Amino acid sequence: MPVSPHYTPAPLYATLGEGFADAVASARFPLKTQRFRNQRWAERVGLGELSDDEWSRAFCAFEPLPDNLPEPLALRYHGHQFGSYNPELGDGRGFLHAQVRDPVDGRLLDLATKGSGITPYSRGGDGRLTLKGGVREVLATEMLEALGVPTSKTFSLFETGERLFRGDEPSPTRSSVLVRLGHSHLRFGSFQRLAYLGEKERLQKLFDFAVEHYAPAEPGATGDPVLRFLRTVSERSARLAAAWMTAGFVHGVLNTDNMNVTGESFDYGPYRFAPEHDAKFVAAYFDESGLYAYGQQPRVVLWNLTRLADALRPLAPSAPLGEALRAYEPAFMQALAKRVLHRLGLTSSGHDVDSALAEAVLSFLEDTRVPIDRFYFDWFGGAASEARALASPHRALYEEASGTALRSLFELHTPASEAALQSPYFQKEAPESLLIDEIESLWSAIAERDDWAPLQAKIEAIAALRAVLGPPPG
């Protein structure tokens, strides 16, 4: 299998030994039709040279990658789901296929699956993924990456030719298998499981592994390592929550098994992008209490971090772990200001001025219900884009008192890129968004006519947005 010099295998999870995962085998699929290949990221990790047949063998038949994991691993974990502890979890329709080093930043990357078949944790399920679910995840990851949200990337999607029956969509429906690329699938629930089982020795081993590979201490660092690790994960999670809020994104199932130690979101089931700043907006129809509503996400992330602290308590019985969690709120507020500036294409004018602008933007969006994507499109570049903003359908709201006050804050910031302001993207009449009606329309073209052109066009349009916004803030 031809790989480039950029390919650096790093099958480290297997070094943990017994008790952390189970060796499994992939399902054998009757069809292997490639529907999405992330060539950009494939080239980055040294797999861009694979032919279509080699890609199929690697990411649908799941032959081992060179010098990588010899067999897939279904990871073991527990988790709180909608506030209730569930000790029956684990990788039920996916596994860890391979690990590589990112040649750009040296970080460890996981290649993991969704829909690859039954494992010991399938709990009576078929271990499969609907094609619609795969398409939805492609769209989610492409859009979130474009908006600068720390997210897994959809690496590959194959249609697999099986007929699946699901209660929440017309059945039978088409099937798929997806591969995602992410910086870790080491979940909060991985630690919770070992704490629940009282396996302190393995808990310590997993913690040491996490510190070494995902949160190494700075040279000369002192103090309790658990406290230091928890503070790092808290700050990363705060930045993730801020990115979701600025993107208008609602994860839908923000359980502790869907959060990891690198502060990167993954596993997109019933997600939604909120059309407007509505704190009560929910993504999942079954979230009747609004536990994971848009406005609740920052609080839920902190609650999940507290559960991680509970799981780590056996390793540091006397350490003030609550102090680490207090890093969350200031990190969230700082990240929120940076994210607002990023979406507006503006440079920083100092912490206080940036924070004032972020607060004013979010208050304006909440009060006026101007669509989130529309607002950031209209005002990208701040005061330099006033003419475009005042040609918007929402001109009247921009000219009201709150809009006038907001415009005065824009004048305190300068555009980050004059070239971006002149890009073709801002010559369009409306911004790229990913609301549920469009997702359903894209799927309908596939389901009714097997027409993949609208999906491809959408992916290309999202790429244009990504190019305009540029890299996210650190």
Q: Which residues are catalytic?
A: 257
8 Å CB contact between 94 and 114: yes
8 Å CB contact between 123 and 434: no
Q: First vs last Cα of the chain: how many Å apart?
A: 36
Q: At what angle do helices 453-469 and 131-146 cross, to 10 degrees?
A: 20
User: Is the bond preceding residue 5 a cis peptide, omega within 30 degrees?
Assistant: no
Burial 207-243 (b: 16+ CB within 10 A, else e): bebbbebbbeeeeeeeebbbbbbbbbbbbbbbbbbbb
Amino acid (1-letter code) at residue 23: A
Distance (Å, whole) CA 60 – CA 28: 9
Q: In this structure, is the dihedral angle defined by the CA atoms of residues 184, 92, 234 and 243, taken in order, positive or negative?
A: positive
8 Å CB contact between 114 and 178: yes
Ramachandran bin of 381, using left for φ above 0, alpha for ψ from -120 to 50, beta for the remaining angles: left
Secondary structure (3-state) at 386 = helix
